[in-house]
Structure 1
């Protein structure tokens, strides 16, 4: 595999990249004039920690995307904006973002980065190689106690499992590399089946849970714990139990190789395994000091969770950066140009997504798609409190530069605001023309475990009380009423899926949920009409506005897009089976 061969050399590059993060004086065993090499890294605990830091840097990717050489050294592996605009959540302000390729089905299997959607593919292989090197050479480091060695083994296995999980949800089965490869090895490793990859991830997660500490000192936030390893296991098993993989008949036939893209049979027991894993994550959380944010008020709990770094709900966050200015990534590719002058562009929340928000009483909001209405602000005020904590809507607060957002036609924040609203979530109030802000780069947070549990348990057993309790726990902290009793399994499925859409909005779950549920071809999801909204002032009111939904675009989704393609440059070598339709 080209990328695996490249990873042989990239592991060496990461030794140097990681070393560059430290002052020369910190390389205690390095004589003057001696280059840093693998033996240097494994000569002391200080050197090992440097390598581990570098492995976290390339092995942990958050909800944000970056275009910074300090984080992602290869230009072709950097991304500019989040995936939300590839789904019914949003539309990107500019057309050169990668999300546009999804919307017009212009994904390709070519090496050219335009149309290629897994920019970090080769970096994952580098991270996996680093983990394998750590596991192989850990005992060469002198003076390590068993507790610390167990921690490092757990960290390496977690990072390796995380990178395999990221590839599983994109490709299905991929080659399993569980040892360091040498140039003398056969590097043309064939794909393993979906089942084999899932089992490999689960085994690494189980090992990590048994070896990792429950918690660390505050200065070590960002390192893997028991809880996050269990959450990774739960997420992986949830994806594995979902219709995309848990089937005898894949979305497109791959002939004798169908087990590379699905299990080859449907087994409801997979849902129960996912439920059990999610429950275990919830039970581990208190021991690690993790808890849902519930003490800031129902109109503030949710925003505090995504805005406040290192709050108790965040189980793992990427810690690559400190404070960043509004014209630096990741803000540069998520802030609207009409708010952060000079930025590339923001993410406009589309009406397809806004219609998912219930009213505060738990009933659906009514929207007139044909004629619009003259009561926009009234409708906004009636919505689930998470709406106002997620969406930058007309009349809402953005930051000190724009205390009142104007997305009505002719308003100062309306240009290119296709949906009549901007994504506010992820962008803290602090960020402004005069203040930098630290990205809250969430990778796992506890609310996901509750929603994973509710979904999997309903699929395994139906809407039993424990499934209700899990989803109602998430709703209650934002002031939303309990789900109505007596729902059928299908009705509960629809409600818990909608709850995921709202609670996990813009956190890079929606694209993968759509595909694992196999609903991308449903009207208005990733195919068909994407509705925007135009907002107008009313001549007889200073507080109310007229809204007019309109069709912003008609999107295309092809069945082959349920899984990513491998690069043709790899497939043409004859050992890697391409996913169907590519």
Structure 2
């Protein structure tokens, strides 16, 4: 019986070619799918749609920020909060952090095996589609290797009647998987021209280089900071670190030297400039290298519905409370450290909110909703109550008080705004969205951008001894942000810059893993939020700490890799479990 290939109509929209294709989903024989360019494009669009570029579209899109201790989620029952507090074991498996996409891998292999025999497609077209598919396969392996370490490398379509040893393959080593990713991307680079189309959601040469840049940096870090596991399939030999740093450096340098990309840096307002990176789409955004394209209603998500503060028209809202532990990483524009002595955050001290938050790194102000920041022409409030001149307090959310400057404010903020941390994620939120409900947000998800290129380059250059190049790259980032330039480059300030520049972009958790520093931030830590009480007489705030999460975080060294579930181990008798489980 011939296999039947299911082409999703949604995938047609992904590539903007619905005028060429049948609008309804159709069942198409494998004998004809690669005899037509439109059907081939639809097949590849389906592959794109199944590759997990981001965790989810709606309330769970904050998964990696939650497990990386950047922000949490509003409700205890939401998947990111489960993942933070989950006890990992063989019996329980990897839970919500799982990614095991061999069905996608099989369909990519199917294309690579069948398309070459097409009688109707032009050789140049076949070559370009094979290159695109090989990139998707390499990216798919990257998503699996960073979770599990070594996984089986399968480059052919497996069938049920294959021999036992062909069906049940052992895990390749982690190093072999990273080498596979590099070799695949290196092999296809020449199959792409210099056209820049990654910002429109299609793989191009620069997208391929950025996967090299990122994946090889991960491999280098794991080799430098980790150890080869007892079963040999996790970890990378330390002697390989320099080679991987060089590969990452070379790929980043190629993107830089292409002249195709810049750091967006228009106007004098550093806050709005940084915010614009994530709201400017397509090739008009000269910083975007590769993006997953979204369109409201047609292929929309719910970021604005979930991220808007309460009181601004979103039905859910306030879903991503930012942890104060992470806020402390954002220094002040005058060079002061963002880490204020926590012993000063008591009921006996008062703070000017414009200094406490308003004078921090512009990237903070573009990324976080904080007390009295402006949104959609109004202020956002986070205070629990207003303390009057006689020492009494009032806390009605519907009754106003008059401030010293004559303006009015509510006695207390909306409860949802202050429930967990009294700070909310703002980055990527579209204040111009007229319909902030689920499915009506269309901000593209930026997978690779030039800011990351420079940070990858700086890190690799530093470990290769090219400190002047590393310093220059870091200072390009800081200059764009309006922060004081560094006079020297260190491992610490490279890592610090990365966490601040790439906040809420799904990097920090994986960075803490590859640096092997996760215990410092994620183990034995009870993350904090803030309580704001406004003092009417002095126009200041009393700021105190509160627990942001229900319990202390736990992160043992075994969590550098996720466990294989007992069922997955049972499916393949040649699999070995990751160390510590």
- The normalised TM-score by structure 1 is 0.84
1:248-397 pair list within 5 angstroms: 249-250=227-228, 254-255=229-230, 257-258=231-232, 260-269=233-242, 270-284=244-258, 286=259, 289-297=260-268, 298-310=270-282, 311-319=285-293, 321-324=294-297, 329-335=302-308, 341-343=314-316, 346-372=319-345, 373-375=349-351, 376-397=353-374
Please name the residue that 1:75 is paired with: none
Range with bigger deviation, 349-358 or 80-89: 80-89
Please name the residue that 1:422 is paired with: 424
Asked if 1:471 corresponds to 2:474, the answer is: yes
Asked if 1:88 corresponds to 2:69, the answer is: yes
Distance 1:342 1:429 in 2: 15
1:360/1:383 contact within 8 Å kept: yes
Please name the residue that 1:447 is paired with: 451
Deviation string, structure 1 residues 483-531 (Cα, Å, up to 9, x no partner): 123x5xxxx1110111111110000001100111111111x44541312
Give how far 1:35 is off: 4.0
Distance 2:192 2:580 in 1: 41
Residue 382 to residue 334, structure 1, CA distance change in 2 (3 Å): closer
Distance 2:508 2:51 in 1: 22
Give how far 1:13 is off: 5.7
1:92/1:348 contact within 8 Å kept: yes
Corresponding pairs, count: 534
Partner secondary structure for residue 199 of structure 1: helix
Asked if 1:437 corresponds to 2:447, the answer is: no
Distance 2:303 2:90 in 1: 27
Partner secondary structure for residue 117 of structure 1: helix
Asked if 1:163 corresponds to 2:140, the answer is: yes
Gaps of 5+ in 1: 1-8, 68-77
Partner secondary structure for residue 265 of structure 2: coil
Give how far 1:46 is off: 1.5
Residue 452 to residue 394, structure 1, CA distance change in 2 (3 Å): same
1:41-60 pair list within 5 angstroms: 41-59=33-51
2:318/2:416 contact within 8 Å kept: no
Deviation string, structure 1 residues 521-575 (Cα, Å, up to 9, x no partner): 11x4454131211111013134x32211234342111221111122221112422
2:34/2:40 contact within 8 Å kept: yes
Please name the residue that 2:130 is paired with: 153
Give how far 1:333 is off: 4.9
Give how far 1:371 is off: 3.1
Distance 2:181 2:476 in 1: 29
Give how far 1:210 is off: 1.4
Please name the residue that 1:540 is paired with: 537
Distance 1:97 1:393 in 2: 23
Give how far 1:247 is off: 5.8
Q: CA RMSD in A?
A: 3.1
Distance 1:235 1:532 in 2: 32
Give how far 1:324 is off: 4.8
1:65/1:330 contact within 8 Å kept: no
Based on CA coordinates, which of the two structures has the bigger radius of gyration? 2
Distance 2:147 2:476 in 1: 31
Give how far 1:279 is off: 1.6
Gaps of 5+ in 2: 385-411
Distance 2:11 2:289 in 1: 27
2:152/2:171 contact within 8 Å kept: yes
Distance 1:132 1:327 in 2: 29
Distance 1:247 1:199 in 2: 18
1:94/1:345 contact within 8 Å kept: no
Distance 1:302 1:388 in 2: 9
Residue 79 to residue 388, structure 1, CA distance change in 2 (3 Å): closer
1:195-214 pair list within 5 angstroms: 195-214=175-194
Please name the residue that 2:203 is paired with: 224
2:381/2:414 contact within 8 Å kept: yes
Distance 1:347 1:441 in 2: 17
- The normalised TM-score by structure 2 is 0.84
Asked if 1:406 corresponds to 2:381, the answer is: yes
Distance 2:20 2:486 in 1: 59
Please name the residue that 1:461 is paired with: 465
1:247/1:264 contact within 8 Å kept: no
1:120-199 pair list within 5 angstroms: 121-122=99-100, 124-185=101-162, 186-199=166-179
Partner secondary structure for residue 255 of structure 2: helix
Give how far 1:341 is off: 4.7
1:316/1:442 contact within 8 Å kept: yes
Please name the residue that 2:516 is paired with: 518
Distance 2:564 2:309 in 1: 33
Please name the residue that 2:579 is paired with: 580
Distance 2:85 2:8 in 1: 41
